[in-house]
Structure 1
Amino acid sequence: MAHLLGAEALHLEYPTKVVFDGVSLGVDEGDRIGIVGRNGDGKSSLMAMLAGRREPDSGRVTVRGGVRIGMLDQADVLDDDGTVQHTVVGDRAEHEWAGDAAIRDVMSGLVGDLDPEARLGTLSGGQRRRVALAQLLAGDWDVLALDEPTNHLDVEAIAWLAAHLKRRWSASTGALLVVTHDRWFLDEVCTRTWEVHDRIVEPFEGGYAAYILQRVERDRQSAVIEQRRQNLARKELAWLRRGAPARTSKPKFRIEAANELIEDVPELRDKVSLQSLAVSRLGKDVVDLLDAGVTYPATADEPAREVLRGVEWRIAPGERSGILGVNGAGKSTLLGLIAGTLEPTTGRVKRGTTVKVAVLTQRMDELDPHLNEPVRVVVSRLRTSYTIGTGSKATELTPGQLLERMGFASAQLSTPVKDLSGGQKRRLQLLLILLDQPNVLILDEPTNDLDTDMLAAVEELLDGWAGTLLVVSHDRYFMERVTDDQYAILDGHLRHLPGGVDEYLRLRQAAPASTGAAVSHLAARGSTSAESAPAAGGLVGAERRAAEKELASVDRRIQKLTAQIDRHRVALADHDQNDYVGLGEKMRAIADLEAERDELELQWLELGESLEA
């Protein structure tokens, strides 16, 4: 493959830190490279040097003649007075850009729901980010350098971006460099991984899953690698092999080696023990949403708006669920109903008497009273110890040990909260909430500002947390990793997703405009009726009717099993909590019913795919 650009003996340092020392590397045609590493180790600086945005202190970057490099950085440099359409396509005539299928695809995928004549100064931060990304992708580049491209994008937009980058060039042309903490995106798009650490750049073959495997092998062979980091990596590898079906069905690394490495790694969570403890702490009632709906009243600028309607959700003790939906679908409204900060306008919300809800919000209001206090003082004021896990696996940690697990060095314990980085403040916010010992935890976009190692540390901490967990996140990997079920808000209704995020994306693609699917104001002008016509199903006639009938039957059986499981959980809450043998038998019965439901849900997915084929 032809060489596109390279770096020789790069050296970069700040007054207090050497970032790179003698780094040499190259980028060839066909490379799709993900750049990972701890925050502050130089990922963005490396990308900026390779893209020609920053000069190294010594060494040089060479670029083959004629190679065009386009870069998306984290800074917002858009003109507030520009319009959406002009920013993306410039002065090109409408018939010119609308006749280009690639540009129409970018328009539809990223800014199709925006008014083409809207001034950028009136847009939100997330909308401006999509415009900046569309502007870059509408250009013709040999190399794309993307710094945190998934920031402010929802699950749907991230899936679109991954698909776009995979089909943008042929397999042996073009090159991609991407810095992101989104591990699903890294695994979906990248074929090579660079880990930035300790002043060097270490290359690995394959995407994120392959990188984790190779890093574990490297760590096992090196006695100087910190044992803690090794265990986290091995645990994450176990998730990659045992977790999401989409990964295990198309493995990206050597299965034999992976199985050998994880044969002594226990399951990520002891579900029986955690749920039993959650029941004892919460009782049988957590939060029940009963035909709940929310309508916001009319204002001078907007008519009355119904956000949620007819929501039925009985949240169980120890339940771990993720909530999906486009921006504005009603996720925050739903969380408000559960947390008790918002009352329904129709229906009702019933809460258990022992419920103690804590919410990790996107804002960090919990830290405001402590901005001038050292981290050590803030944490020690709450509790002297914190227990994770259950039974023989229970571990009691001091606040200092908790901080260490979350990546705080001893020197940082004396740092005032106001001087912490965004990622450090995020981790401290989560620790303060956990130390307050809630039994229902709501996480609203918890992955912001965290690097991949810190995300793994947060996930391990949540693995041993006994309580009900609800997560809203655009980080698909994190959601699949820490939750057992996913739900979506679609057209004001809450819908269970047996097929997880993949099912949500299919439903969104199939949704008509009236149910909230984004309508492209821009691309629709240039698209033909042939392009917009839906694909015909693979099954026809009697065969299709039989599949639809079986699908309905399986769906009814899933609902009956779910009701049985709910009844068993209620009975579990009423059982003598000191009868450990009886509790174990009841939990095993629940586990058997859940396994049967899992099989039916897999059958439901296969039937659905056959109807959509």
Structure 2
Amino acid sequence: MNYLSVENLSKTFGDRTILNQVTFGVAQGEKVALVGVNGSGKSTLLKILTGIETPDSGQVVFKNGITVKHLLQNPEFSKGQSVLDAVFDDNNPDHAILKQYEKAMLRSLTGQENHDEIQQLIEQIDSKNLWDLESQAKQILGKLGIHDLQQKVQLLSGGQQKRISLASVLIQKPDLLILDEPTNHLDIDTIEWLEKYLSVANMALILVTHDRYFLEQVTNNILELELGKAYSYQGNYAYFLEKKAEREINEAASIDKAKNIYRKELDWIRRQPKARGTKAKYRVDAFQETKDKAFSAQKTNELELNAQASRQGKKVLEIAHLSHGFGEKSLIKDFSYTFQRKDRIGIVGPNGSGKTTFIRLLMGEITPNAGEIEQGQTTKFGYYRQVEESFNPEQTIIDFAKSIAEVVEVGKGRTIPVSQFLTRFLFAPDVQYKPIGKLSGGEKRRLQLLEILIQSPNFLVLDEPTNDLDLITLGTLENYLEGFDGSLIIVSHDRYFMDKLVDHLFVFDGSENIKDFPGNYTDFRNSIQDTPAPSPKASESKKDKQKEPKERKKLSFKEQREFEQLEAEIPKLEVEKAKLIEQMNTETDHEKLMDISGKVEAITEQLDEKELRWLVLSEIS
């Protein structure tokens, strides 16, 4: 049963054809991934499916009666909207009841007497058996790091807003869900949870993502967009790679055949008198068709990276007894490491554990509290930041590139003009004179990467390099980095990228000690799973266990109110703590630093106590 049918869909912008007679369908339970290079039409197709864009021709038909939800890159919210308003849909009667219940509970926490209102809502929830839905909604919100339902969405970061939108569409349990880069702004643990959730969810799915492990585990159909056409592969990502290679081999053979025919047809065309109007029209038409086929391979969408790294001496980078923190909060303690040529290091750890601080210390952006960082004389850093660089939107691509270098060294003393290097980065000659402000997000990230490689660094530090890059560009970047003749540090939530490129990890666990783990990310996760759970205390007897009270299925009304209150208080304390730590980062007065530090310590104690109680209550519920 098809939930979605797309027939002969075409879309052009100016003289550029983005989609050309694209036809496909999505059946019940089918999970489809759209893949293709930046600019191949993925975002355009999603916008057409969601009604943001209209096609030039063709049609999009959804099955009557199904619920379709979507989450694109930049979600929009109403002014003044709270998290609670954003995640529950008023048009859904069940969601409306749960939303009223949540608001009533929040009012009760402020001292308003509304016991009768809450009791009536509880009875409605009981009668409609909505407690499971409420529990699932809380689970989804919690897994996505959303706890304070009273926050105003417009005050949150773009990443937090993306999580709220994701929570909203998941809670509504649509029949067909459309997602654009759902793993962006999520940490690895959350990505793995989302991966498991979507792989077993009873819904059809269309998604765009650069996370190949995610594709492998979640999707069962790959739809590739290339040069305006769509190619469908009934299988996961590994199957797609295999069949795509076969298709390209077959196409190469047909192109060679077309070139032979083209040469003969070209000879015939040239031999005809120019003034003569008796050329067979069918021969001329066939000639043009054969020419298009013969030279279709020249329209490559493959990025080519072969910039040469600068020569690197014996001394690369040495860290001796490095310690750093802010106020009383110590992030790094007595860490030493000597980097070797061609080191491949991945950095992992939860938010706030010190990963970004460590990178900034290495880059000289902040000064350590103790210890030394000594850079080798020949070490030349290339730092790819997670935040997109602020380009001059009026400057053309070619002028920007020439402001860095006129020529680029590509190995063995060979150089090429910077314009040719741009072409290898998929910026065609006619595009190079385009203002940077006209580029897509993915194209700007590609330009940011070009800016780094064009300077021939020999020590690359890449902070979330996979965001906004397409799979083809990622594959090419990986191939380049595998052969990169310098040192490499990667901070990334892309597990595939990390596994392929790093051979050991710096693990930040928030305890101020950095662990050097020998292996890639999957090795590290496996080592955690293989660690045996702590054995029960020797004093614990079977008799003691038998005395344990049976687990209750529901919280009492009083406990439910306490649980709701804790969920509102904990995020506020976390925000207050974060603000104090931020003040510590800029404060230079010693007495004020001590005062702020005392406040941070007090809040930390409160958080520990409240989080422990929340955990106990959550186990009961």
Q: Given the two structures, how large is their TM-score scaled by the length of structure 1?
A: 0.68
What corresponds to 1:573 in structure 2?
A: none
How far residue 334 of structure 1 moved from its aligned partner, in angstroms, is 0.6
Q: CA deviation at 1:151?
A: 2.0
SS in 1 for 2:136: helix
1:6, 1:61 within 8 Å by CA — same for their partners in 2? yes
C-alpha distance after superposition, 1:517-575 (max 9, x if no partner): 9x98999697434x8xxxxxxxxxxxxxxxxxxxxxxxxxxxxxxxxxxxxxxxxxxxx
Deviation at 1:400, TM superposition (A): 3.6
Change (3 A) 1:168 1:333: same
Q: Deviations over 1:483-529 (max 9, x none)?
A: 33233211133223445333555789999999999x98999697434
The superposition leaves residues 337-369 of structure 1 with CA deviations (integer Å, 9 ceiling, x where unpaired) of 21222221133323333322231223455855x
**Given the alignment, which residue of 466, 470, 482 partners 2:489?**
470
1:72 paired residue number = 71
Distance 1:145 1:109 in 2: 20
Distance (Å, rounded) in 1 between the aligned partners of 2:301 and 2:430: 23
| Distance verdict in 2 for CA 1:411–1:460, change over 3 Å | farther
Amino acid at match of 2:216: D
Q: Show the counterpart of 1:8.
A: 7
With normalisation by structure 2, the TM-score equals 0.67
Question: Is residue 2:235 matched to residue 1:206?
Answer: yes
| Distance 1:136-1:374 versus aligned 2 partners, 3 A rule | closer
Cα shift at 1:116: 3.1
Look up the equivalent residue of 2:359 and give its one-letter code.
L
Is residue 458–residue 486 contact of structure 2 (8 Å, CA) maintained in 1? Answer: yes
Q: Determine which of 181, 185, 189 is the counterpart of 2:210.
A: 181
Query: For the Cα contact (< 8 Å) 1:219–1:230, is it kept in 2?
Result: no
Tell me the SS of whatever aligns to 1:128: helix
Q: Which residue of 2 aligns with 1:82?
A: 81
| SS of 1:6 mapped into structure 2 | strand
1:342 aligns with 2:366: yes
- Offset, 1:106: 0.8
Matches within 5 A, 1:578-589: none
The 5 Å alignment of 1:464-543 reads 464-491=483-510, 492-498=512-518, 500-502=520-522, 527-529=618-620
CA apart distance, 1:420: 3.4
1:422 equivalent among 441, 444, 469: 441
Determine the C-alpha separation between the residues in 2 that align with 1:420 and 1:55. 21
Name the residue aligned to 1:387: 410
126-135 or 63-72: which moved more? Answer: 63-72
Residue in 1 aligned with 2:312? 281
2:398 is the counterpart of 1:375: yes
CA distance in 1, matches of 2:343, 2:483: 13
Confirm or deny that 1:154 pairs with 2:153: no
1:307-348 C-alpha deviation (Å, 9 max, x unpaired): 323333322221121212233322221111212222211333
Q: Secondary structure of 1:448's partner?
A: coil
* Long gaps (5+) in structure 1: 236-267, 269-273, 298-303, 532-613
Name stretches of at least 5 consecutive residues in structure 2 with no aligned partner. Answer: 89-94, 103-121, 256-295, 535-569, 571-603
Distance 1:381 1:476 in 2: 33
Change beyond 3 A, Cα 1:155–1:7: same
Partner of 2:375: 351
Q: Report the CA distance between 1:401 and its aligned residue.
A: 3.8
Mapped to 1, the partners of 2:617 and 2:3 lie a distance apart of 34
Give 3-state SS (helix, strand or coil) of 1:159's partner.
Answer: helix
Judge conservation of contact 2:353–2:508 (CA < 8 Å) in 1.
Answer: yes
Corresponding residue number in structure 1 for 2:157? 124
Cα distance per residue 1:249-285 (max 9 Å; x no partner): xxxxxxxxxxxxxxxxxxx9xxxxx9xx99x7221x3
Contact 1:286/1:355 (CA < 8 Å) preserved in 2? yes
Residue 465 of structure 1: how far off its partner (Å):
2.4
Instruction: Work out the percentage of aligned pairs sharing the same amino acid.
Output: 31
Counterpart of 1:45?
44
Distance 1:82 1:197 in 2: 40
1:144 aligns with 2:177: yes
Given that residues 108 and 523 in structure 1 are in contact (C-alpha distance below 8 angstroms), is that contact kept between their aligned partners in structure 2? Answer: no
What does residue range 433-452 of structure 1 map to in structure 2 within 5 Å?
433-452=452-471
- Quick check: 322-331 or 128-137, which moved more? 322-331
- Aligned counterparts of 2:329 and 2:131: Cα–Cα separation in 1: 34
Deviation per CA, 1:65-113: give whole Å up to 9, x if none: 321111111222123523334432464124757643432331221124x
TM-superposed CA distance for 1:167, in Å, is: 2.1
Following the alignment from structure 1 to structure 2, what is the Cα–Cα distance between the partners of residues 57 and 521? 58
Question: Residue type of the partner of 1:127?
Answer: Q
Equivalence for 2:245: 216
CA distance in 2, matches of 1:371, 1:521: 54
In structure 2, the CA distance between the partners of 1:25 and 1:5, relative to structure 1 (3 Å rule), is same
Please say if residues 441 and 468 of structure 1, whose CA atoms lie closer than 8 Å, have aligned partners that are also in contact.
yes
